[in-house]
Amino acid sequence: MNPDNPKRGILIGIAGGTGSGKTTAAANILNGIGSDKVGIVTQDSYYHDLSHLTPDDLLHHNFDHPDAIEWNLLLEHMRILLSGESAQQHIYDYSTHTRTGEFRVIGPHTVIVLEGILILDNTELREMMDIKIYVDTADDVRLMRRLKRDVRDRGRTMEMVLQQYRDTVRPMHEQFVEPSKRYADMIIPEGGKKMVAVDLLQTKIRQLLSERGLL
């Protein structure tokens, strides 16, 4: 993307399957550049509020389809953040699949790291990104990480997680997430822990910051 504003912030997109290590990659970038300059935004914070659904409907809801995300709000926030302003992000309760009514303030930051399974599938978001990354991790490793996270942090049972993986997570990964890898500028294997790749990314980010007078 060639921004009209030479001092426009930098947007880095980090995609990959559930449990691939996107958050680890984002944290490594933040640690190398400096937390004062970098803000991390997660796609999962933009799920639609599902307070109107019954427990049975929630059990069968497809959270891995693009329609599960409020893309217009996410795009609006990206434009606000890249202009150097702050945005108010809904706080989402993953155990109830609802927005709590509270907000967190993001920004202002010069570098925005957006991570999520579907972000490279969205054309408008891709066009806003300065660097596009795909974190590629083996399916069995991703499933184990998801199982541990959802049971520990999101109030799910092992049976619920495995059923959801079989019914929606894996099919949506094959339909939307894995194919989006072709849009990536860089593919990082093994869950974002390849520090050579992270070092290269940090060097590129510093170059972009310098070119835009943002260092």
pLDDT confidence tier of residue 191, bands split at 50, 70 and 90 = low
Share of the chain above pLDDT 70, in %: 93
Cα-Cα-Cα-Cα torsion 100, 105, 107, 111, nearest 10 degrees, comes to: -20
Q: How far apart are the first and last CA of the chain?
A: 20
Please say if the pLDDT value at position 193 is more than 70.
no
Domain with residues 10-197, CATH architecture: 3-Layer(aba) Sandwich (3.40)
* pTM beyond 0.85, yes or no: yes
What are 104's two structure tokens?
């967190």
Exposure string of 24-57, with b = 16+ CB inside 10 Å and e = fewer, is bbbbbbbebbeeebbbbbbbebbbbbbeeeeeee
How far apart CA 186 and CA 212 sit, in angstroms, is 22
> Residue ranges of the domains in the chain?
10-197
Confidence tier at 2 by pLDDT (50, 70, 90): very low
| Res. 154 pLDDT band, cuts 50 70 90 | confident
pLDDT exceeds cutoff 80 at 7: no
